[in-house]
Amino acid sequence: MTRILLMGNPNVGKSALFSRLTGVQAIVSNYPGTTINYTRGYMKLGEETAEVIDVPGTYTLEPTSEAEEIALRLLDSGDIVINVANAINLERNLYLTLQLLERGIPMVVALNLWDDTRHRGVDIDLEKLRGLLGVPVIPTVALTGEGVKELVENVPRAISPHRPPGTRDQRWANIGKIIEQVQRISHRHHTWRERLADASVNQVSGGLIALAALASSFFVIRFIGEGLINYVLDPLFNNLWAPVILKLSQLLGGGGFLHDIVVGKIAGGEINFLQSFGLLTSGLYVPLGVVLPYIVAFYLVLGILEDTGYLPRLAVLMDTILHRLGLHGYTIIPNLLGLGCNVPAILATRILESKRERFIAATLISIAVPCAALQAMIFGLVGARGLEYVAIVYGTLFAVWIILGIILNHTVKGFSPELLIEIPPYRLPPWRAVLQKLWLRTYSFLAEAIPIILGAILAVNILYILGVFNAIANFTAPVVTGLLGLPKEAVTALVIGFLRKDVALGMLAPLALTSGQLVVGSVVLAMLFPCVATFVVMLRELGVVNMLKAVGIMIVAALVTGGILNLIL
Amino acid sequence: MHRFGGRFKDNKPEADPVTLAQLKSGQSGTVVDIQGGHRMTDRLNALGIIPGKKITKASAMLMRGPVTIEVDRVEVAIGFGMASKVMVRPDRVP
């Protein structure tokens, strides 16, 4: 089968074009480095079906990060390249175009963001550009679909003009000549978006804008999350689902092995969906009633932040602080993604240039950045004791993030390169893209989390019945009770935390903990062992040795922090 | 050595080059040299920072934070250390 590669600089709209060509939805955002792995789809090419690959963005064919190495490896496997270039700054994009042409692979150029050229005062002579490059050049607007049909018609016309290999300086000289002939720039005035763009990377106004953006994000997430819980999901569970479960409980005889697994413990005809721990009670309530509302709220806000183009600006503002942690500003993006789920966050560290940075970033994320599922449970459980306790949990995790980062910066060998990123222009988030992305992420939460949650609850019940937990509890009592000040049964939650952190926190609910103990439990649970999905992705991305190092750091950090909190609270 | 330059000397048309880190916010200039290794030059070139190119410094963060410039209608943020290795000849202020 013909394999078509979509290649181009970061943030030129490859993923948007990919979705247009194949109908496969890919995550599209307004920052460089959204795609860190390749996505595959299929399109009709005449009578045939061709495979299309959305390749991570790369500036040159000399890779400087894991994501760019993936791009280079893919290039050897392709039959046709669709080189996606940004029409707004053609000059810089042409460097990769020339390098690709030198490879001798048949190519078509999609000149994307074509709609922006007019109001940005850029005029490109397409005929001349086609002549000089020797390949078809099609103007496109991937977000609206304009030009995509012409692009598809031109893919079979992809050719290789057999350009001789050149050196860096020769290429830049050639590009200079091409640009002189095909591009005219006219002056125009600054728009309000550009003024806002300038203000957001200024020290003072930028800081204020960042505070406002993060604070309003927090309140919007909480407002939507709580709103969905209080007005939609709790009424649904309490008024519609509870009677069904009570009926079922009667049918199963109100107790016994099967009853406890399916329905869980019911006290006095009232169902506590969080504590009963049956498959059809907690097994559905945790993912759908507690976590889902926050997943929807978080990813809606994150999607809007991503698509406006704000995140790279936040990276610039945070750069000085993150340097103290051995990272550079761009790592704020994987860290923010981690607040949703640690798995895509650790994958996103692929765009960092050095192994050292990737190790520090992945370790910090897996230890000190709680995922949305865990956060939802923290708000539900700890929040019931008062928001000040929630604040202690967050404050502690933030302090750990900073302190551990500083320690790692001083102890991990290697170098951390400096920030060098392109900052995309602000744009109003295209609502279709935002909603599509929200759906994609919510769906993958439902598809991946619910089976594991149900499995975890089944495992908990069986282990209880077999008495395994009691054995573990007695064995670990010195640490759990002596050091952390928790009842010895709390260790079961820490064990289950390896499967799902949300279920694990739910297991602390029936233990009648004091507020202080609940805070210690939440923090230790957040920091200790990553869930199995994060564990696997760390193993794959960091390798066995570094993953074990990260886990060692994790255990020490979690126990020390938990012990200190136990002494203070 | 005889010093050419000085922005306000009318007999000499060009100012002395400064580093991008030293260039003032809002000021424009032309890149004259990148005093870094091959790898760094490649990365900067890839973002359009090439000798001969016109750039405008948009802003700089305090405490040796990154420098933001505009080059070819695109904003690029550059870490302070790297910005200290990019030599720019400031435009004359009329």
- CATH number for the domain including A17? 3.40.50.300
Cβ pair A60:B62 closer than 8 A:
no
Closest-CA residue of chain A to B76:
A422
Chain B CB within 8 Å of residue A425 CB: yes
> What are A410's two structure tokens?
């001083």
Out of A185, A216, A238, a domain closes at A185
Give this prediction's pTM: 0.87
CB A198 within 8 A of CB B59: yes
Chain B CB within 8 Å of residue A174 CB: no
**Domain enclosing residue A147, as ranges:** 3-185
Residue B8 placed within a domain: no
Q: How many domains does chain A have?
A: 2
CB A242 within 8 A of CB A271: yes
Cβ pair B77:A320 closer than 8 A:
no
Cβ pair B80:A418 closer than 8 A:
yes
CB atoms within 10 A of CB A408: 20
CB atoms within 10 A of CB B83: 28
Cβ pair A201:B68 closer than 8 A:
yes
Q: Say if residue A162 is in the same domain as residue A251.
A: no
Q: How far is B87 from chain A (nearest CA, A)?
A: 17
**Residue (of A246, A248, A235) closest to A285 by Cα position:** A235
Rounded Cα distance, A137 and A82, in Å: 10
Q: Give the position of tokens 């991990």.
A: A412
Chain B CB within 8 Å of residue A64 CB: yes
Q: Say if residue A467 is in the same domain as residue A333.
A: yes
> What are A550's two structure tokens?
């990260």
b/e burial code for range A123-162 (CB count within 10 A of at least 16 → b): ebebeebeebbebbbbbbbbbeeebbeebbebbeebebee
Q: Say if residue A309 is in the same domain as residue A387.
A: yes
* pLDDT for A103: 93
Provide the chain A residues 220-279 that lie in CB contact (below 8 A) with chain B.
none
* pLDDT for B6: 45
**Residue (of A161, A147, A7) closest to A84 by Cα position:** A7
> What are A53's two structure tokens?
């690959």
Cβ pair A120:B81 closer than 8 A:
no
Lowest mean pLDDT among A75-79, A463-467, B67-71, B86-90: A463-467
Rounded Cα distance, A549 and A126, in Å: 54
User: Which residues from B are below 8 Å from A202, CB to CB?
Assistant: 59
> What are A316's two structure tokens?
């610039």
User: Which residues from B are below 8 Å from A419, CB to CB?
Assistant: 66, 77-79
Q: Say if residue A405 is in the same domain as residue A294.
A: yes
Out of A185, A216, A250, a domain closes at A185
Cβ pair B77:A420 closer than 8 A:
yes
b/e burial code for range A334-362 (CB count within 10 A of at least 16 → b): bbbbbbbbbbbbbbbbbbbbbbbbbbbbb
Rounded Cα distance, A100 and A79, in Å: 12
CB A55 within 8 A of CB A7: yes
Rounded Cα distance, A113 and A22, in Å: 19
Cβ pair B39:A64 closer than 8 A:
yes
Rounded Cα distance, A319 and B82, in Å: 14
* pLDDT for A270: 81
Rounded Cα distance, A289 and A281, in Å: 10
Chain B CB within 8 Å of residue A191 CB: no
Q: Say if residue A233 is in the same domain as residue A172.
A: no
Q: Give the position of tokens 């997943």.
A: A295
Q: Say if residue A390 is in the same domain as residue A504.
A: yes
Cβ pair A421:B77 closer than 8 A:
yes
CB B75 within 8 A of CB B24: no
CB A343 within 8 A of CB A369: no
Rounded Cα distance, B63 and B56, in Å: 21
Rounded Cα distance, A538 and B51, in Å: 41
Q: How many domains does chain B have?
A: 1
Residue B3 placed within a domain: no
**Tens of pLDDT along chain A (569 residues)?**
899 999 999 999 999 999 999 988 777 777 777 777 778 899 988 888 999 999 999 999 988 888 888 889 999 999 999 999 999 989 999 999 999 999 999 999 999 999 988 888 899 999 999 999 999 999 999 988 999 999 999 999 999 998 899 998 899 999 999 999 999 988 766 667 777 777 777 778 888 999 999 999 999 999 999 999 999 999 999 999 999 999 999 999 888 889 989 998 887 778 889 888 899 999 999 999 999 999 999 999 999 999 998 999 999 999 989 999 999 999 999 999 999 999 999 999 988 888 999 999 999 999 999 999 999 999 999 999 999 999 999 999 999 999 999 999 999 988 778 899 999 888 888 888 899 899 999 999 999 889 999 999 998 899 888 888 888 888 999 989 999 999 998 998 998 898 889 999 999 988 989 999 999 999 999 999 788 889 889 998 999 999 999 999 999 999 999 999 999 98
| Angle between helix A126-133 and A168-182 (nearest 10) | 150
**Residue (of A156, A161, A158, A193) closest to A174 by Cα position:** A161
CB B56 within 8 A of CB B67: no
Chain B CB within 8 Å of residue A60 CB: yes
**Residue (of A472, A456, A205, A451) closest to A313 by Cα position:** A205
Chain B CB within 8 Å of residue A94 CB: no
**Residue (of A98, A86, A82) closest to A50 by Cα position:** A82
Residue A197 placed within a domain: no
User: Which residues from B are below 8 Å from A318, CB to CB?
Assistant: none
Q: What is the largest CA-CA distance in chain A?
A: 85
Give the number of A-B residue pairs with CB atoms closer than 8 Å: 99
Most A CBs within 10 A among B49, B73, B76, hence the mutation to make, goes to B73
* pLDDT for B14: 75
**Domain enclosing residue B84, as ranges:** 18-90
Rounded Cα distance, A145 and A344, in Å: 28
Amino acid at A152: V
Comparing CB atoms, the residue among B61, B64, B75 nearest residue A423 is B75
Cβ pair B79:A319 closer than 8 A:
yes
CB A370 within 8 A of CB A339: yes
Coil vs helix vs strand at A53: strand
**Residue (of A103, A97, A46, A111) closest to A78 by Cα position:** A103
Rounded Cα distance, A123 and A185, in Å: 6
- Distances in Å between the Cα of A292 and the Cα atoms of A45, A285, A447, A507 are 40, 10, 12, 19
Q: How far is B47 from chain A (nearest CA, A)?
A: 6
Q: How far is B31 from chain A (nearest CA, A)?
A: 14
Out of A185, A213, A229, a domain closes at A185
Rounded Cα distance, A144 and A122, in Å: 20
Closest-CA residue of chain A to B25:
A202
CB atoms within 10 A of CB A45: 17
CB A117 within 8 A of CB A186: no
H or E segment and range at residue B16: none
Q: How far is A154 from chain B (nearest CA, A)?
A: 28
Chain B CB within 8 Å of residue A328 CB: yes
Q: Say if residue A147 is in the same domain as residue A224.
A: no
Residue A422 placed within a domain: no
Rounded Cα distance, A228 and A292, in Å: 9
Residue A421 placed within a domain: no
User: Which residues from A are below 8 Å from B59, CB to CB?
Assistant: 198, 201-203, 206
- Residues of B at the A interface, defined by Cβ within 8 angstroms: 39, 42-48, 50, 58-59, 61-66, 68, 72-82
Residue A199 placed within a domain: no
Q: How far is A327 from chain B (nearest CA, A)?
A: 12
Nearest 5 degrees, angle CA A540-CA A311-CA A297? 80
Rounded Cα distance, A84 and A10, in Å: 10
Coil vs helix vs strand at A292: helix
User: Which residues from A are below 8 Å from B68, CB to CB?
Assistant: 201, 316, 423
Comparing CB atoms, the residue among B50, B62, B82 nearest residue A172 is B50
Q: Say if residue A178 is in the same domain as residue A248.
A: no
Residue B76 placed within a domain: yes
H or E segment and range at residue B27: none
Cβ pair A419:B68 closer than 8 A:
no
Closest-CA residue of chain B to A314:
B77
Task: Using the predicted structure, report yes or no on whether residue B7 has a pLDDT greater than 70.
Answer: no
Q: Say if residue A473 is in the same domain as residue A545.
A: yes
Chain B CB within 8 Å of residue A122 CB: yes
* pLDDT for B10: 52
β-pairing verdict for A80-86 and A107-112 = parallel
Q: What is the CA radius of gyration of chain A?
A: 27
CB atoms within 10 A of CB A167: 8
Q: Say if residue A322 is in the same domain as residue A389.
A: yes
> What are A367's two structure tokens?
């230890």
Q: What is the CATH number of the domain that holds B69?
A: 2.30.30.90
Q: How far is B3 from chain A (nearest CA, A)?
A: 30
Rounded Cα distance, A68 and A34, in Å: 12
Closest-CA residue of chain B to A420:
B78
b/e burial code for range A367-387 (CB count within 10 A of at least 16 → b): bbbbbbbbbbbbbbbbbeeee
Cβ pair B76:A423 closer than 8 A:
yes
Cβ pair B43:A59 closer than 8 A:
yes
H or E segment and range at residue B87: strand B86-90
**Residue (of A437, A552, A566) closest to A30 by Cα position:** A437
Rounded Cα distance, B13 and B7, in Å: 8
Q: Say if residue A219 is in the same domain as residue A349.
A: yes
Q: How far is A423 from chain B (nearest CA, A)?
A: 5
Q: Say if residue A172 is in the same domain as residue A212.
A: no
